[in-house]
Amino acid sequence: MAKTALPSCAARKVEEGQQTVRGAVCPTTAQSLYYSWSKEFLEAGKKRLAGDTARQVNTGEVKDLRAEALALKELVADLSLENRLLKKNMTGAGGDHE
């Protein structure tokens, strides 16, 4: 589909994000042309949104993220073990009286 330029009055409405009906955009705009512009802008917006939210990840990034996740898991395990030992020592030092 060939891209067509919007008349300045229609482009201004689109840039301002105003909701318009065909007659309010430009009284001289043909209805079929208006709807083709509308469809073109909607499709361009969908493609832009899809491009902004999904991107290709390279293998280097995946390897780095996996290594970071592994390091963080080890850190959590070490801290959990240290916390458990400290708690055990605190209860043992206080003396358990039966």
Contact 9, 26 (CB under 8 A): yes
Residues 6+ apart with CB under 8 A from 28: 7
CA 54 to chain centre: 8
d(CA 13, CA 1): 23
In this structure, what token pair is assigned to residue 39? 């469809």
pLDDT, one tens digit per residue, over 37-61 is 888 888 888 877 776 655 667 888 8
Q: Does residue 24 have a pLDDT over 80?
A: no
Contact 25, 10 (CB under 8 A): yes
pLDDT at 22: 46
Q: Does residue 96 have a pLDDT over 60?
A: no
d(CA 47, CA 41): 10
Q: Does residue 16 have a pLDDT over 80?
A: no
Quote the radius of gyration of the chain (alpha carbons, Å).
Answer: 31
What is the pTM assigned to this prediction? 0.38
